[in-house]
């Protein structure tokens, strides 16, 4: 039996199936896949984007930053203003946003216009991440809510495993603009999939919606958010600038292979987390943070050695793959069903604050100090996250 309390809604429909609606959940996973792919693909294409728009690698890295800022500023207001809107039309509008803004990015010859398109795509992503978890959990009875969330989140490691490396390879073969065009086609395909298989639900009644302040002060919420901030800031400093970071080890030309190794490890991780999360969420969080810290130490000591880099990247990927599921499940337990529709946008806001911070901090370190400074900064952030998670024994990451 799970050690975590049930957060089944009292208003849960009686006709919810007692098995996972795989095709509907995988459509949500595909939405997450497009969100992550749109967000992270510049990390593998920084040199090509820089050449195409006649900008530096650090400036190209701000395509990730602007996307994150869009998600950051949009998630909470979007959730508050659309809480009563039916779910499927809202999801379709979000996916159509990816179709439009990725197409603009593919065609734009202006750095400024590209940044605007990236910001608006980030707005769409913030809206999507604010509703995917709640949407997935509404499709199943209480006993399956954790598994449904794990399935809906599988798009993240899949994007990291196959999307970014293949996108990087395609960028070398057909150009970075064509890669964004392919993502637009994926969005078009997903619109049809959602219309075909994803059920519709009404929005939340106004008298049942909680405020941001009410959710934020719930026991355990703030420690979880601090772990999200420090953990994801460390991750994105390294991930956003992985191409220049690999140059001292001679792997600068093998970004696609390194990201494939990372993603495969992440995919294994989400499978393990999906099996164990109901019984050992706290332990999995602590192990993940400790493992990433050890990977940072390895990169600090042996960052110029290709074998050590591959080993460290494998460990990093294994600790990251289940992170979204772990942290969102902890928040779902802390917020309860009534606060979930606001808790997830708060999580999205903090998550993307960390992504934006990773682009800014990483770019600053790259320009002023160099990539050799990355592992030490990562280690400090991860130690802070580990201390916070360890201390949140009663609420947040309870035993």
Using one digit for the tens of pLDDT, what is the confidence trace for 248-285?
A: 888 888 887 888 888 889 888 888 887 888 778 899 99
pLDDT(94) > 60: yes
State how far the Cα of 330 lies from the Cα of 326, in Å rounded to an integer: 6
Contacts of 226 (CB under 8 A, 6+ apart): 385, 388
Where residue 8 falls among pLDDT bands split at 50, 70, 90? very low
pLDDT reported for residue 336: 75
- Domain-located, residue 292: yes
Q: Looking at per-residue confidence, does 363 or 44 come out higher?
A: 363
- Domain-located, residue 100: yes
- CATH classification at residue 87: 1.20.1250.20
pLDDT reported for residue 160: 65
Kindly report, residue by residue over 158-172, the tens digit of the pLDDT: 776 677 677 778 888
pLDDT(3) > 70: no
State how far the Cα of 303 lies from the Cα of 310, in Å rounded to an integer: 10
Taking residues 314-332, report their average pLDDT.
89
Number of folded domains that form the chain: 1
Domain that holds residue 334: 22-391
pLDDT reported for residue 45: 86
Kindly report, residue by residue over 20-63, the tens digit of the pLDDT: 899 999 999 999 999 988 988 887 788 899 888 988 877 888 88
- Domain-located, residue 399: no
Kindly report, residue by residue over 286-318, the tens digit of the pLDDT: 999 999 999 999 999 998 899 999 999 999 999
pLDDT reported for residue 288: 95
State how far the Cα of 193 lies from the Cα of 354, in Å rounded to an integer: 31
Contacts of 185 (CB under 8 A, 6+ apart): none
Supply 315's token pair.
């460990």
Environment class of residue 109 by beta-carbon count within 10 Å: exposed (0-12), middle (13-18) or buried (19+)? Answer: exposed
Helices (H) and strands (E) in the chain, counts: 15, 0
- Domain-located, residue 12: no
pLDDT(341) > 80: no
pLDDT reported for residue 27: 96
Supply 52's token pair.
């195409």
Q: What is the mean pLDDT of the chain?
A: 86
């Amino acid at each position: 039996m799970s050690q975590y309390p049930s957060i089944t809604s009292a208003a849960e429909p009686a006709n919810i199936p007692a098995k996972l609606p795989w095709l509907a959940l995988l459509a949500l996973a595909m939405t997450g896949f497009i969100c992550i792919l749109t967000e992270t693909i510049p990390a593998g294409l920084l040199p090509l984007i820089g050449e195409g728009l006649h900008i530096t690698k650090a400036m190209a890295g701000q395509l990730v930053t602007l996307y994150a800022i869009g998600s950051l500023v949009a998630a909470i207001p979007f959730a508050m203003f659309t809480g009563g809107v039916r779910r499927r039309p809202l999801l379709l509008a979000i996916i159509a946003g990816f179709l439009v803004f990725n197409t603009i990015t593919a065609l734009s010859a202006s750095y400024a216009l590209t940044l605007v398109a990236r910001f608006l795509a980030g707005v769409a992503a913030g809206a999507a991440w604010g509703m995917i978890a709640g949407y997935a959990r509404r499709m199943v009875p209480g006993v399956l809510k954790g598994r449904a969330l794990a399935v809906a989140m599988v798009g993240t490691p899949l994007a990291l495993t196959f999307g970014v490396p293949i996108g990087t390879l395609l960028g070398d073969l057909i150009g970075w603009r064509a890669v964004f065009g392919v993502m637009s086609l994926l969005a078009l395909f997903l619109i049809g999939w959602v219309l075909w298989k994803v059920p519709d639900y009404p929005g939340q009644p106004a008298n049942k919606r909680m405020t941001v302040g009410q959710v934020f002060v719930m026991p355990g919420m703030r420690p979880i958010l601090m772990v999200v901030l420090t953990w994801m800031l460390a991750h994105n400093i390294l991930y956003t600038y992985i191409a220049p970071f690999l140059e001292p080890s001679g792997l600068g030309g093998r970004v696609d292979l390194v990201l494939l190794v990372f993603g495969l490890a992440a995919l294994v991780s989400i499978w393990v987390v999906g099996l164990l999360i109901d019984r050992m969420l706290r332990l999995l969080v602590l192990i993940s943070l400790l493992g990433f810290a050890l990977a940072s130490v390895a990169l600090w000591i042996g960052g110029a050695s290709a074998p050590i880099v591959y080993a460290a990247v494998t460990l990093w990927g294994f600790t990251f793959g289940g992170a979204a599921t772990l942290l969102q499940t902890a928040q779902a337990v802390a917020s309860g069903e009534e606060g979930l529709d606001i808790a997830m946008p708060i999580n999205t806001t903090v998550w993307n604050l960390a992504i934006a911070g990773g682009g800014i901090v990483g770019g600053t370190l790259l320009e002023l100090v160099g990539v050799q400074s990355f592992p030490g900064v990562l280690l400090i952030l991860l130690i802070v996250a580990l201390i916070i998670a360890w201390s949140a024994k009663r609420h947040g990451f309870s035993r």
